[in-house]
Amino acid sequence: MTLNNYNFPTHVVSGAGARHELTPMLKSHGVTKVLLVTDKGVATLPFFGDIAETLKRDFAVEVYSGIEGNPLISHVTAGTETAKGFGGDAVVAVGGGAAMDVAKCIALMQHHPGQLLDYEDGKPDARPVDQVLPLIIALPTTAGTGSEVGRSAVVSEDATHIKRIIFDPKLLPVHVLMDPELTLGLPATITAWTGMDACSHLSEAFLAPGYHPQCDGIALEGLRLMSQALPKCVTGVMNHETSKTYVDARHDMLNAAMMGAVAFQKGLGAVHSCAHALSTVCDLHHGLANALMIPYVMHFNLRFAEGRMKTMAEAVNAAEKSGPGWVGWLQTMNKMVGIPSSLPEQGIEARHLDALVEVAIHDPCHQTNPGPVTAENFKDIFQQAFAGTMERAAT
């Protein structure tokens, strides 16, 4: 596979083996000390060891790998201590959305005073991001959040799991090395969950109100790519495939995830509000939460956006090219990649209903839902997801 260079929305090197560009890239910036940021799982994988060992030939290297599960403020605090003690001039994130977001925050806090939440997006008295950040380079190992091309980081408070957003253009990685070989060994579950997160970004962005033909075009092509690639990735990993078709599908998913993050500059919607509630209240994986909720929320949204859902049904070549056909396609895709069709199947109990509605209604994402969503609507949507009884919209 040849390496592709994009300069949109940042510098991206995309293709099998892209990770080997890391050393020359760091050298071109005159870097001498590299902080590698990853999660506990990735830290044990052979490719991570290889990346660290390769870097040690040319640079002083320190590793922060304390991230586990959803990204927490305590991860940022611990990583920042490591970063300040080490004094590196580059932060290289290797991992999924959690590692990526924590790495961005560590890069921010290395030379900025105070606490992370002093820089929270929208805070009236927020401190300015006015210091130089170390060079940020991202190597995604999942195809989901697209955080590698995002200018924000989402981290949760440790005690409450409430999500906080840090936003600044300086958080956008300067380089992204999008190497499908880093995702070949992802378990089928994480592949499916993160892939459906990307699907949620692409489709919610496409439905978000507002005139933005660039984002709309990117969203539709991203949906087409993911519709073909995600099932191949899930079955490929289960069959221990190493074929070019499998690597190509992984490459397509990385691109689809990146396109989702570009497209959702336009906005997200109520799927993400429900997912944020499930992560906050039940600590559910973000991608899995989106996957579980997307058919129910899209079914609700038919009343606002049936025409645009028909366009998405056409983009993914759904069996029925209609609004209900789009909802039916989502149910079929979930089934194909092993996502349960109701919340209790994932261990989420109905006693959480009120708390879920409470978090969802206060979540900002549904402000760009294609139509308004009330607390009563959220309650209905969650109740359907508990019962798993939404009528199948299409076959």
Contacting positions for Zn ion (CB under 5 A)? 197
Give SS3 for 37: strand
Give one word for 285, left, alpha or beta, with left for phi > 0 and alpha for psi -120 to 50. beta
- Reading the block at residue 349, the tokens are 């109990």
**In the bound complex, what is the minimum distance in angstroms from residue 236's beta carbon to Zn ion?**
23
Asked whether the beta carbons of 146 and 198 are under 8 A apart, the reply is yes
Task: Closer to Zn ion by CB, 197 or 216: give it.
Answer: 197
**In the bound complex, what is the minimum distance in angstroms from residue 195's beta carbon to Zn ion?**
11
**In the bound complex, what is the minimum distance in angstroms from residue 132's beta carbon to Zn ion?**
30
**In the bound complex, what is the minimum distance in angstroms from residue 272's beta carbon to Zn ion?**
6
**In the bound complex, what is the minimum distance in angstroms from residue 183's beta carbon to Zn ion?**
17
200 φ, ψ to 5°?
Answer: -65, -40
Task: Closer to Zn ion by CB, 179 or 197: give it.
Answer: 197
**In the bound complex, what is the minimum distance in angstroms from residue 147's beta carbon to Zn ion?**
9
Give one word for 95, left, alpha or beta, with left for phi > 0 and alpha for psi -120 to 50. left
Task: Closer to Zn ion by CB, 109 or 277: give it.
Answer: 277
**Residues with Cβ within 8 Å of residue 225, at least 6 apart in sequence:** 252, 253, 255, 256, 259
Task: Closer to Zn ion by CB, 197 or 252: give it.
Answer: 197
The DSSP symbol for 116 reads: G
Task: Closer to Zn ion by CB, 39 or 197: give it.
Answer: 197
Task: Closer to Zn ion by CB, 59 or 296: give it.
Answer: 296
Dist CA 119 CA 105 (whole Å):
10
Asked whether the beta carbons of 246 and 234 are under 8 A apart, the reply is no
